[in-house]
Structure 1
Amino acid sequence: MSQWTILCDFDGTISVEDITDSLLERFGRPGWQSLEQAWKRGEIGSRDCMAQQVGLLEATDGELDAHLDSMMIDRAFPQFVAAAREAGVPLTVLSDGLDYAIRRVLGQHGLDDLPIVANRFTAVGESGWRLEFPFGSPHCRSGNCKCASVAGAHAERRRVLLIGDGTSDFCVAGVADLVFAKHRLIEHCRSAGIPYVPITGFADALELLPTLLAGELAAHGDEAMQAPTQQVA
């Protein structure tokens, strides 16, 4: 088995769009936008923001499932999962999103057997919803403390490849061994001097995986300080 383990964000990384945002736009009662703005201003953490936003969702099971079944994922992700499995590299979906939604979307592609570490999304009555945080930490403002998952992998003497795209991956990127970064995470890694490889999607990740496992992948480091290109063994 490879020394590497892969922790992969879901919303905007595996999924084409942010699933939680799409549910709020479709089923959210008034008020969720102001919570979003408070989070963006740093007035509340993502855990408080999402807990209150999910409380504003109003949708039956059937309405929710129909919406989730219309969500798309990166077309190359199933191939990437297959390649990781063939290489003996464990892959876990690590998300600050909604576990039920993630499993439902992945199930459309036969991938709902992947390990999922995310916030617990449960029904309340006929059309209400609640969010719980089984992977939270009192020292973390996120619902899911992604850094704890990295610490667990390191405790098992495994190296961690993080694949992510945005704000929920900023903190954990600093403790992963390497990052495949999309979108806003590229700029964060660049400015923070975090070893990363930029990708546009899982077609890139699939192409890079054999090079990573062979210990020959060159990662960007702290470009602002003109650090030498780093070889990731």
Structure 2
Amino acid sequence: MDLTNSTAIVTGGASGIGAACVRQLAARGATVIIADLQADKGEALAEEVKGVFAQVDVTNTDQITAAVEQAAQIAPLKACVNSAGIGWATRTIGRDGQISSAFDLGAFRKVIEINLIGTFDMTRQAATVMSRNEPDENGQRGAIVNMASVAAFDGQIGQAAYSASKGGVVGMNLPVARDLAASGIRLNVVAPGLIDTPIYGTGPESDAFKANLGSNVLFPKRLGTGDELASMVIELLTNDYMNAEVVRVDGGIRMPPK
């Protein structure tokens, strides 16, 4: 699928993995809508790639609607990447035997709302706008890539909410892809492993921590880069025969319990 003279939306596009996807989509000729909460980073990146920043909280349906409609007004919306997500480690039960120390349900819901429901909301709305496009010579109207995680398969201790949310992204991939096929829209999932993003910080301590993490990767023994992950996202968007797949980009790692 050719992305020239089209628009693309990337949630969580202001930094990290999302920003790498934004840059590679722009290099393919798309005008990228950077849908994020971080206005300073998002606006700076939009200026860099000649895109558009849209302040979007993926739990706000109206903001998603505004972003996809804005994209369609600029050019046909052909690509969407759902990269917005959160997560932290919390054990299911506390050490003191008190119910009050168990995993907070509000925190669990928040992770599900952002990582799973937010992903589905953007998927359904972006696909709706894509369905209005004129099909290309192969009958395609658009493609979507949703970001999961190896935690969907190898969740570690404390990752109950995060793994559940990413497992949901994997679980809905096939039924939604089957649904969207009637409109000529493809859907795939990328499941990243350990990717070097700003969450790890900078400096000697951060470098040592990342080196230790990387030693657990099968090969190459390092963290992946945002560009390496983004290249797979671009492949899934542009390769017409990739549909309903979940692709791990993880250097062969299988996460231990902790």
TM-score normalized by structure 2? 0.40
TM-score normalized by structure 1? 0.44
